[in-house]
Chain A
Amino acid sequence: MRTDGDITQILSGIGLFTDLTRPQLEEIAHTFDEQYFNPGERILRKGFTGTGFYVIVEGEASIEVEGRAIARLGRGDFFGEISILLGEPPSTDVVAISPLTCLVLAGSDVQEFLEGHPKVMFRILQAEAAKLRSTVQ
């Protein structure tokens, strides 16, 4: 018989989920899938349909345009939400640059999830606002 580490403790340390109660964190752990990516493996591929919403639990990734890295992502960062919200394939690649573990939610489940977890939606809006400000400044 195996028992392993408490996934809810890991989730509670991720900014997106800091406002959630322990039962809600457990629901997140059961709702999102955990995926592992090798260094060099692409997580989002420009122009490919059927993508998801990703939250980095461990490791680093880079956002790439035509093979050129334009931003670096680490623990607690999330990506994939723009193409899901717009209903369009991603316009960039996201590539693992170290062994990478992510929580993943299928694109078709994102709307229901956000409507059921408004505090997570608010955190995402805050992050999008910060990105927008840094873009226009």
Chain B
Amino acid sequence: MTSAQSPFPPGSYPVVIIGSGPGGLQTSYFLTQWGIDHAILSRDEAPGGMFQRYPLFQRLVTWTKPHALDDRTTREYERYDWNSLLGTELENRALVPGLMDGSSYFPSRAEMHGGITEFATRAGLQASYGTEWESTRKTEEGFTVTTNKGEYHTGLLIIAVGMTEPWKPSNIEGIDQAPHYVDVARPTDYAGKRVFIIGKRNSGFEIADALLPWVKSMVIASPRPARFSVFVKSTAAARARYIQPYEDHVLGGGNLVLDAAVPRIERHNGGYLVHTSGTTHPGDLVIEADEVIAATGFATPLNDLPQLGVSTFYQGRLPAQTPFWESASTPGIYFAGSITQGAIGLKKYGIPSNSAAVHGFRYNSKVLAAHIAVTHFGKQPQRRTIEPKDLVEYLLQEASSAPELWNQQSYLALVVTFDRKQGISDEGFWPLSHFVDAGGEDAIALTVETDDQGDIHPAIYMRSGGSVGEHLLESHPLHQFGTKENRTHLASVLQPLIGKQEGSK
């Protein structure tokens, strides 16, 4: 595409989004639905973001079930399709399963990338591709973004560039000599070699799993014992599909999983000597390896935003954010996509949100677009009136099936307000941490939560008279929460707020 044909030439826009991966595109889609003019800038030449390159070994860790309990055209199906972007129109919904070849319920990288591209095409989402974000400065009106194509002026900036910058810890001497995960060669290049992998999260186990048929021996090491999703009930831990290298270790197959810090790496006879210090089993070991791979994670490429006052945490790898994903220190800069994992929320039982993955952050984008529309552009919130007699059934039905609540457990909440004049209103989905801390009118927030025993149940947070209380409902073996016990319990919890409504008539 030539610059003459390129959409969004340099100039002024009410909102500028940087990034054309799933986070940027999903946010653009919902801003468009709210009628908010905006530009998308992308250094890439096509939509898709990181899925144009990663995961390295070509298959995702997030599932899409082509055949699920609910039909693909329904909202409820989103719970089983973690990879499609959200569309309101039928033709824009659930695009990834239609591209899958049936060999796995984890889409291949190409199938995922195809789904994103198809969504952008069908929804008519455009971007100024080949546009490199060079620098940023504050202005009276907001921000000016300087690119290789010129300057963009905007009141609101949305950063959706992913947590995509390769990162290595500085406390491993010689770490610069080890290639990062992103620089790993083809598995066949490791044939017959001794490989040392630093890191026991998904990227470390992804590489280990891919190299199993090729390496002579393999050591996977980090200070903390391996944690797997099935035990800690979180997608943030290493996923079950990568557990094979761990089984090899446990059964004495020749590959090893070590709990050890790595203070130093040095070159030796064309290979490496890796110095380790055990943690769960104290003691120092020096391990010879032909190859070392740093699967040590990623940081957010924030460019010069820290110089503009954007504060960070997690060793500078994530921006500090409000519950609505705005920079905690520089108002007017918002974040979308996987960077929204920096707005941590309540993280009950230590279980994080799914904001690091598409099936979580696509809902954050929907909430973010609504928040921006209402607070910055004076749009009217979308509300729906609920009759008091229907409230209990409605809440239990949503708890049983709402994909927003299931995919963003304890993080996004369905909010219902109780106003003496307007009655009972469904306010849509909000960040739970905003609801419980911001104060305001009488209201409830409904979530789905998993506790430390793996029990999945609905929870109600009730705000009344200025304080917020928590009420946990019962789980159900089939996750169908509309039981007699829950209806009775929920009616009792809601009665004070419904009673105020009826008393005011």
Residues of A within 8 A of B (CB): 1-9, 21-24, 26-27, 29-31, 33-36, 38, 40-42, 45, 47-52, 89, 99, 101, 104-109, 116
In the complex, which residues of chain B have a beta carbon less than 8 angstroms from the beta carbon of A36? 311, 313-314, 320, 328, 342, 344
Contact indicator A26/B348 (Cβ below 8 Å)? no
Contact indicator B472/A49 (Cβ below 8 Å)? yes
| 18 new A-B contacts at CB < 8 Å, known A35-B347, A36-B313, A51-B348 | A1-B180, A2-B167, A22-B263, A23-B261, A26-B223, A30-B224, A38-B322, A41-B433, A42-B437, A48-B348, A50-B348, A50-B349, A50-B449, A106-B349, A106-B350, A107-B350, A107-B452, A108-B452
Contact indicator B433/A23 (Cβ below 8 Å)? no
Please judge, given known A-B contacts A3-B175, A47-B470, whether A22 and B167 are in contact too, CB under 8 Å.
Answer: no
Q: B486 contacts the other chain (Cβ, under 8 Å)?
A: no
Q: In the complex, what distance in Å separates the CA atom of A29 from the CA atom of B170?
A: 13
In the complex, which residues of chain B have a beta carbon less than 8 angstroms from the beta carbon of A52? 347, 350
Report the number of A-B residue pairs with Cβ-Cβ less than 8 Å. 135
Partner among A3, A51, A109 whose Cβ is within 8 Å of the Cβ of B170: A3
Please judge, given known A-B contacts A2-B166, A5-B170, A47-B469, whether A26 and B346 are in contact too, CB under 8 Å.
Answer: no
Q: B91 contacts the other chain (Cβ, under 8 Å)?
A: no
With an 8 Å Cβ cutoff, the count of chain B residues facing the other chain is: 52
Kindly identify, within residues 158 to 201 of chain B, every residue whose CB is under 8 Å from any CB belonging to chain A. 165-171, 175, 180
Give the interface segment out of B3-11, B17-25, B275-283, B422-430.
B275-283
In the complex, which residues of chain A have a beta carbon less than 8 angstroms from the beta carbon of B222? 30
Please judge, given known A-B contacts A34-B313, A36-B342, A107-B452, whether A27 and B261 are in contact too, CB under 8 Å.
Answer: yes
Please, what's the 1-or-0 string for B129-172, where 1 marks a CB less than 8 Å from any CB in chain A? 00000000000000000000000000000000000011111110
Closest to A29 in B: B223
Q: Please, could you name 17 A-B residue pairs with CB atoms under 8 Å apart, sorted by A?
A: A1-B167, A3-B169, A4-B299, A4-B315, A9-B171, A22-B261, A23-B261, A23-B279, A26-B171, A27-B223, A27-B224, A30-B223, A30-B224, A36-B313, A45-B436, A106-B452, A107-B452
Q: B476 contacts the other chain (Cβ, under 8 Å)?
A: no
In the complex, which residues of chain A have a beta carbon less than 8 angstroms from the beta carbon of B316? 2, 4-5
Min CB distance B346 to A, Å, is 7
In the complex, which residues of chain B have a beta carbon less than 8 angstroms from the beta carbon of A27? 223-224, 259, 261, 279-280
5 A-B pairs with the lowest CB-CB distances in the bound complex, closest first: A106-B350, A50-B348, A108-B452, A30-B224, A23-B277
Q: In the complex, what distance in Å separates the CA atom of A2 from the CA atom of B294?
A: 12
Closest to B262 in A: A26
Min CB distance B238 to A, Å, is 13
In the complex, which residues of chain A have a beta carbon less than 8 angstroms from the beta carbon of B180? 1
Min CB distance B292 to A, Å, is 15
Q: B260 contacts the other chain (Cβ, under 8 Å)?
A: yes
Contact indicator A109/B224 (Cβ below 8 Å)? no
Q: B355 contacts the other chain (Cβ, under 8 Å)?
A: no
Closest to A58 in B: B313
Please judge, given known A-B contacts A1-B180, A49-B451, whether A6 and B171 are in contact too, CB under 8 Å.
Answer: yes
In the complex, which residues of chain A have a beta carbon less than 8 angstroms from the beta carbon of B259? 27
Contact indicator A26/B328 (Cβ below 8 Å)? no
Q: B487 contacts the other chain (Cβ, under 8 Å)?
A: no
Min CB distance A56 to B, Å, is 13
Contact indicator A7/B315 (Cβ below 8 Å)? yes
Min CB distance B76 to A, Å, is 26
Q: In the complex, what distance in Å separates the CA atom of A101 from the CA atom of B313?
A: 7
In the complex, which residues of chain A have a beta carbon less than 8 angstroms from the beta carbon of B168? 1-3
Q: In the complex, what distance in Å separates the CA atom of A123 from the CA atom of B453?
A: 29
Closest to A45 in B: B436
In the complex, which residues of chain B have a beta carbon less than 8 angstroms from the beta carbon of A108? 349-350, 452
In the complex, which residues of chain B have a beta carbon less than 8 angstroms from the beta carbon of A31? 223-224
Please, what's the 1-or-0 string for B252-274, where 1 marks a CB less than 8 Å from any CB in chain A? 00000001110100000000000
Min CB distance B170 to A, Å, is 4
Min CB distance B358 to A, Å, is 22
Contact indicator A35/B346 (Cβ below 8 Å)? no
Partner among A5, A38, A89 whose Cβ is within 8 Å of the Cβ of B315: A5
Closest to A116 in B: B280
Partner among A2, A50, A101 whose Cβ is within 8 Å of the Cβ of B410: A50
Q: B59 contacts the other chain (Cβ, under 8 Å)?
A: no
In the complex, which residues of chain B have a beta carbon less than 8 angstroms from the beta carbon of A33? 347, 350, 352
In the complex, which residues of chain A have a beta carbon less than 8 angstroms from the beta carbon of B223? 23, 26-27, 29-31
Closest to A39 in B: B328
Closest to A110 in B: B350
Q: In the complex, what distance in Å separates the CA atom of A89 from the CA atom of B224?
A: 28
In the complex, which residues of chain A have a beta carbon less than 8 angstroms from the beta carbon of B263? 22-23
Contact indicator B260/A23 (Cβ below 8 Å)? yes
In the complex, which residues of chain A have a beta carbon less than 8 angstroms from the beta carbon of B322? 38
Closest to B200 in A: A30
Contact indicator A107/B278 (Cβ below 8 Å)? no
Closest to B344 in A: A35
Kindly identify, within residues 310 to 328 of chain B, every residue whose CB is under 8 Å from any CB belonging to chain A. 311, 313-317, 320, 322, 328
In the complex, which residues of chain A have a beta carbon less than 8 angstroms from the beta carbon of B52? none
Contact indicator B261/A50 (Cβ below 8 Å)? no
Kindly identify, within residues 331 to 360 of chain B, every residue whose CB is under 8 Å from any CB belonging to chain A. 342, 344, 346-352
In the complex, which residues of chain B have a beta carbon less than 8 angstroms from the beta carbon of A42? 436-437
In the complex, which residues of chain A have a beta carbon less than 8 angstroms from the beta carbon of B277? 21-23
In the complex, which residues of chain A have a beta carbon less than 8 angstroms from the beta carbon of B278? 23
Closest to B312 in A: A36
In the complex, which residues of chain B have a beta carbon less than 8 angstroms from the beta carbon of A26? 171, 223, 261, 279
In the complex, which residues of chain A have a beta carbon less than 8 angstroms from the beta carbon of B344? 35-36
Kindly identify, within residues 88 to 112 of chain B, every residue whose CB is under 8 Å from any CB belonging to chain A. none
In the complex, which residues of chain A have a beta carbon less than 8 angstroms from the beta carbon of B171? 6-9, 26
Q: In the complex, what distance in Å separates the CA atom of A51 from the CA atom of B168?
A: 31
